[in-house]
């Protein structure tokens, strides 16, 4: 919060799409491990639904023993937990793809980290009693609209499914609070799913219906959007995205930042993975010729990013070097060096050079 | 320039397209009237051409008495002048258009202001001797590539024309310096046109050929891109863009910025027009219900933006008001309240609300 403007640099959300509203977090201004609510990225597919909390109900239905219907107060009275989780849009970094890809042109800021409080999804599913043979849990939001390719049969609701195995995991919650406060409308008020370790599209906002199914869900965002090419039995198939891929990003120096020749510069950033903690982050300040490990300044835990830093002795010679970073997690996942086109316009975690400029700083400046 | 990173907010260019490279200036961090070179927006259509300065020549040909061929040193030995000029991309503000428009998704930062030094175009044209009946002066860059709709006959060079009348104006220069330094490659090294008062597409970078023509130039960026619908003799025609339209932008508070309830806040920004100086800028801090004039803190001159400021007594009540600004110039041009769809994806100068948030600041914080 600021009481005025004095010409000092400003950190705030960046509009990437006006309608529906899509706002990027200013990743270059990474500070605390937790992203404050007014800097957390916003990814909307449709207008924010207006919810009357007195009328609102969350239902669990489908392949269950008994349907469950909960008011907001009833939901919040159930056992709850708090999970720190990084959410990353599956299109984060898309603006750096060559050739240009379809979709919202996210830079580095379609990723943020928060504390989420809510009821484990498993508690609700157990309350309803899952039928034998159930395979998928569909999460449907109150947000809706028409899509064009193929033209939808009128407005459809945003919906994504989780395989039952992931849906039952401890970490998956139906959240009503973010960083200790009720969810803001842009973040899913009154409740949203939070699916730690998976790309953001799984963490359905404005959650209204939970539907257990006996077959794999074939919705629009499950089969047409948020899918990548995969090889199964030697055949190319379009498979729904799931686990977040390991990634490290440099906050500062930021792209095209000018740094002083011969200075000491604190390079810093954050790294995260899917379901496994980050184990190692490396940095190259010479375009990839040499790599050094960096210090992790947060304890690596599953689901949340950890910040890292490195004190760089900037060369004496002016130039335009590229900085690169790459991470590895405890499960052995590492970032690829090159882009795999099978990923289409999603899962952008190959190592991307960040060009900066080294300039001579006159003495005394 | 910075010697290190301490978590403070950072101002730097923002990638809006990777290839060709298109970088936005961080307008929210507007400070001096002159934009430093490392914060000046970059608009490229093709890869930056690699120029060998020893081989490089600038030619003037076409409907002239004698062709002129100049080396870099010969050009710089000619009479020169320095002009302060704001360049704005004709697509600046496109990300705020509803419905979404085609093209690079610029926010507020495809506009910057610099001091340009070079040789008046009229000096070169007089040296060549313009034939009677000449109407257009085509400026062709060394940058080139293929375009798709319609498919070009192989790579074509970026080129735009000026009507002879504008080409002969004092302010139009062939610039070799920006803010006192040789042009950077991204800004047109070794020389570019600077056409003050016109949208940026007229200020052709990496200028290589000047061609005087007896008929109106019908190039790709003159007839297909950088054109808007106009009515001539009652008929809709696609006319090339020209003069920059009057516009005011708020730098701070920036979109979605949080300001303290009851605080005094210095709202500030900049306003510019085409060929006439700005005469009046107004601000509304209540969504357009009431408007106050603001103080211009730079002397209004033709071609350059002037900064403005206003000390705002922020209301005591939390809320999410919209701020709006609008300008008028000495020729009587004023910003429209609503978007004219005939402008297609260009000339975006209608009044756009900026949503901010007022929050209560606890005592002592």
CA distance A265 to B6: 9
Task: State the nearest Cα–Cα gap between B256 and chain A, in angstroms.
Answer: 7
DSSP B137: E
Q: pLDDT band for position B119 (50/70/90)?
A: very high
Q: Are residues A212 and A268 in the same domain?
A: no
Residue B93 near residue B107 (C-beta atoms within 8 A):
yes
Select the residue from A4, A6, A103, A251 to test the B interface by mutation, using most B Cβ atoms within 10 A. Answer: A4
Kindly state whether residue B332 falls inside one of the protein's structural domains.
yes
Q: Which residues of A touch B253 (CB under 8 A)?
A: 5
> Could B4 and A268 be called an inter-chain contact, meaning their C-beta atoms sit closer than 8 Å?
no
Measured between CA atoms, the residue of chain B closest to residue A5 is: B266
Kindly state whether residue A38 falls inside one of the protein's structural domains.
yes
Q: Which residues of A touch B98 (CB under 8 A)?
A: 18-19
pLDDT of residue A262: 96
Q: Are residues A222 and A73 in the same domain?
A: yes
> Could A2 and B258 be called an inter-chain contact, meaning their C-beta atoms sit closer than 8 Å?
yes
pLDDT above 90 (res B365): no
Percentage of the residues of chain B whose pLDDT score is greater than 70: 97
Q: Are residues A253 and A189 in the same domain?
A: no
pLDDT of residue A3: 38
Over range B175-199, report the average pLDDT: 98
Q: What is the number of other CB atoms lying within 10 angstroms of the CB of residue B74?
A: 12
Q: pLDDT band for position B361 (50/70/90)?
A: confident
Residue that is last in its domain, among B240, B264, B296 = B240
Over range B206-213, report the average pLDDT: 98
Residue A229 near residue A327 (C-beta atoms within 8 A):
no
Domain encompassing residue A278: 247-359
Task: State the nearest Cα–Cα gap between A248 and chain B, in angstroms.
Answer: 18
Q: Give the CATH number for residue B198.
A: 3.90.420.10
Backbone angles phi, psi at B309, to 5 degrees: -150, 160
pLDDT of residue B149: 86
Q: Are residues A261 and A159 in the same domain?
A: no
Kindly state whether residue A6 falls inside one of the protein's structural domains.
no
Kindly state whether residue A150 falls inside one of the protein's structural domains.
yes
Burial class (CB in 10 A: 0-12, 13-18, 19+), A163: middle
Kindly state whether residue B9 falls inside one of the protein's structural domains.
no
Q: How many CA atoms lie within 13 A of B129 on its CB side?
A: 3
Kindly state whether residue A272 falls inside one of the protein's structural domains.
yes
Choose the weakest-confidence range: A2-16, A173-187, B30-44, B325-339.
A2-16
Q: Which residues of B touch A17 (CB under 8 A)?
A: 95, 100, 105
Over range B241-247, report the average pLDDT: 98
Measured between CA atoms, the residue of chain A closest to residue B260 is: A3
Task: State the nearest Cα–Cα gap between A335 and chain B, in angstroms.
Answer: 21
Q: Give the CATH number for residue A277.
A: 2.60.40.650
pLDDT above 90 (res B10): no
Kindly state whether residue A54 falls inside one of the protein's structural domains.
yes
Measured between CA atoms, the residue of chain B closest to residue A365 is: B1
Between A and B, how many residue pairs show a Cβ–Cβ distance under 8 A? 148
The candidate with the shortest Cα–Cα distance to A271, out of A279, A260, A262, A261, is A279
Q: Which residues of B touch A361 (CB under 8 A)?
A: 1, 3
Q: Which residues of B touch A263 (CB under 8 A)?
A: 3-4
Q: Which residues of A touch B267 (CB under 8 A)?
A: 5
List the pLDDT tens digit at each of the 365 positions of chain A: 333 444 567 788 999 999 999 999 999 999 999 999 999 999 999 999 999 999 999 999 999 999 999 999 999 999 999 999 999 999 999 999 999 999 999 999 999 999 999 999 999 999 999 999 999 999 999 999 999 989 999 999 999 999 999 999 999 999 999 999 999 999 999 999 999 999 999 999 999 999 999 999 999 999 999 999 999 988 999 999 999 999 999 999 999 999 999 999 999 999 999 999 999 999 999 999 999 999 999 999 999 999 999 999 999 999 999 999 999 999 999 999 999 999 999 999 999 999 999 999 765 44
> Could A260 and B2 be called an inter-chain contact, meaning their C-beta atoms sit closer than 8 Å?
yes
CA distance A244 to A275: 8
Residue A34 near residue B252 (C-beta atoms within 8 A):
no
Q: Are residues A183 and A327 in the same domain?
A: no
Between A6, A9, A258, which is nearest B1 by CB?
A258
Select the residue from B6, B11, B22, B314 to test the A interface by mutation, using most A Cβ atoms within 10 A. Answer: B11
Q: Are residues A231 and A128 in the same domain?
A: yes
Q: What is the number of other CB atoms lying within 10 angstroms of the CB of residue B255?
A: 21
Residue that is last in its domain, among B205, B240, B275 = B240
Average pLDDT, whole number, for chain B? 95
pLDDT of residue B8: 65
Q: Which residues of A touch B16 (CB under 8 A)?
A: 95, 105
Q: Are residues B226 and B305 in the same domain?
A: no
Q: Are residues B116 and B39 in the same domain?
A: yes
Between B3, B7, B28, which is nearest A10 by CB?
B28
pLDDT of residue A194: 98
Place of tokens 């952008």: A348
Alpha carbon separation from A84 to A42, A110, A113, A177, A211 (Å, rounded): 18, 17, 7, 12, 26
pLDDT above 90 (res B209): yes
Between B4, B14, B253, which is nearest A107 by CB?
B14
Q: pLDDT band for position B7 (50/70/90)?
A: low
Q: What is the pTM of this model?
A: 0.93
Q: Are residues A291 and A339 in the same domain?
A: yes
Over range B19-32, report the average pLDDT: 96
Measured between CA atoms, the residue of chain A closest to residue B2 is: A259
pLDDT above 70 (res B286): yes
Q: Which residues of B touch A100 (CB under 8 A)?
A: 17-19
Q: Which residues of B touch A345 (CB under 8 A)?
A: none
Residue that is last in its domain, among A201, A218, A240 = A240
Q: Are residues B108 and B224 in the same domain?
A: yes
Between B18, B263, B266, which is nearest A96 by CB?
B18
> Could B255 and A8 be called an inter-chain contact, meaning their C-beta atoms sit closer than 8 Å?
no
CA distance A355 to A60: 50
Number of domains in chain B: 2
pLDDT of residue A11: 82
Task: State the nearest Cα–Cα gap between A253 and chain B, in angstroms.
Answer: 7
Measured between CA atoms, the residue of chain B closest to residue A19 is: B98
Kindly state whether residue A168 falls inside one of the protein's structural domains.
yes
Q: Which residues of A touch B251 (CB under 8 A)?
A: 5
> Could A29 and B23 be called an inter-chain contact, meaning their C-beta atoms sit closer than 8 Å?
no
Select the residue from A17, A18, A103 to test the B interface by mutation, using most B Cβ atoms within 10 A. Answer: A18
* SS3 assignment, position A222: helix
Q: Are residues A228 and A283 in the same domain?
A: no
Between B12, B264, B357, which is nearest A257 by CB?
B12
Q: Are residues A85 and A232 in the same domain?
A: yes
CA distance A329 to A278: 4
A89: which residues sit within 8 A by CB, 6+ positions away? A41, A43, A106, A110, A111, A199, A200, A201
Q: Which residues of B touch A322 (CB under 8 A)?
A: none
> Could B18 and A263 be called an inter-chain contact, meaning their C-beta atoms sit closer than 8 Å?
no
């Amino acid at each position: 919060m600021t009481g005025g403007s004095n010409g000092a640099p400003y950190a705030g959300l960046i509009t990437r799409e006006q309608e529906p509203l899509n706002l990027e977090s200013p990743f270059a201004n990474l500070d605390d491990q937790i992203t404050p609510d007014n800097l957390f990225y916003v990814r909307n597919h449709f207008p924010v639904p207006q919810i009357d909390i007195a009328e609102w109900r969350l239902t669990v239905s489908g392949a269950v023993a008994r349907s469950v219907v909960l008011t907001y107060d009833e939901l919040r009275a159930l056992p709850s937990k708090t999970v720190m989780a990084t959410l990353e849009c599956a299109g984060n970094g898309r603006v750096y793809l060559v050739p240009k890809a379809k979709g919202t042109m996210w830079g580095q800021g379609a990723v943020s980290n928060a504390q989420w409080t809510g009821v484990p999804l498993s508690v609700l599913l157990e309350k309803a009693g899952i039928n034998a043979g159930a395979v998928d849990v569909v999460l449907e939001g109150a947000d809706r609209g028409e899509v064009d390719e193929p033209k939808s049969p009128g407005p459809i609701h945003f919906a994504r499914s989780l395989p039952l195995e992931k849906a039952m995991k401890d970490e998956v919650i139906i959240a009503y609070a973010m960083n200790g406060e009720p969810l803001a409308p842009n973040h899913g008020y009154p409740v949203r799913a939070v699916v730690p370790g998976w790309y953001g599209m799984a963490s359905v906002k404005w959650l209204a219906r939970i539907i257990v199914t006996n077959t794999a869900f074939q919705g629009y965002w499950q089969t047409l959007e948020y899918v990548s090419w995969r090889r199964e039995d030697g055949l190319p198939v379009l498979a729904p995205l799931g686990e977040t891929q390991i990634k490290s990003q440099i906050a500062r120096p930021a792209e095209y930042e000018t740094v002083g020749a011969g200075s000491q510069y604190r390079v810093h950033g954050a790294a995260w993975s899917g379901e496994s903690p980050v184990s190692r982050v490396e940095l190259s300040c010479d375009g990839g010729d040499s790599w050094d490990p960096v210090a992790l300044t947060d304890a690596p835990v599953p689901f949340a990013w950890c910040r890292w830093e490195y004190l760089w002795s900037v060369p004496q010679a002016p130039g335009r070097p590229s900085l690169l970073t790459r991470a590895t997690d405890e499960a052995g996942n590492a970032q690829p060096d090159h882009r795999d086109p099978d990923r289409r316009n999603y899962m952008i975690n190959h190592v991307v050079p960040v060009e900066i400029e080294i300039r001579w700083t006159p003495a005394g400046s």
